[in-house]
Amino acid sequence: GEDVEQSLFLSVREGDSSVINCTYTDSSSTYLYWYKQEPGAGLQLLTYIFSNMDMKQDQRLTVLLNKKDKHLSLRIADTQTGDSAIYFCAEEEFYFGSGTKLNVKP
Amino acid sequence: EAGVAQSPRYKIIEKRQSVAFWCNPISGHATLYWYQQILGQGPKLLIQFQNNGVVDDSQLPKDRFSAERLKGVDSTLKIQPAKLEDSAVYLCASSSRGGSTGELFFGEGSRLTVL
- State the CB neighbour count (10 A cutoff) for residue B97: 12
Among chain A residues, CA nearest to B36: A96
Q: What is the mean pLDDT of chain A?
A: 92
Interface test with A, best of B100, B103, B105 (most A CBs within 10 A): B100
At A46, the amino acid letter reads L
Q: Which of A44, A88, A92 lies at the smallest CB-CB distance from B42?
A: A88
Q: What is the mean pLDDT of chain B?
A: 92
d(CA B87, CA B70): 26
Residue B58: the pLDDT is 93
| % of chain A beyond a pLDDT of 70 | 98
d(CA A16, CA B97): 37
pLDDT digits (tens, 9 = 90+) for B39-82: 989 999 999 999 889 999 999 999 999 999 988 899 999 999 99
Residue B6 reports pLDDT greater than 90 = yes
| % of chain B beyond a pLDDT of 90 | 82
Highest mean pLDDT among A2-6, A35-39, A92-96, B82-86: B82-86
- The shortest C-alpha distance from A5 to chain B (Å) reads 10
Residue A2 reports pLDDT greater than 70 = no
Taking residues B96-111, report their average pLDDT. Answer: 80
Residue B73: the pLDDT is 92
Do residues B49 and B109 touch, judged by C-beta distance below 8 A? no
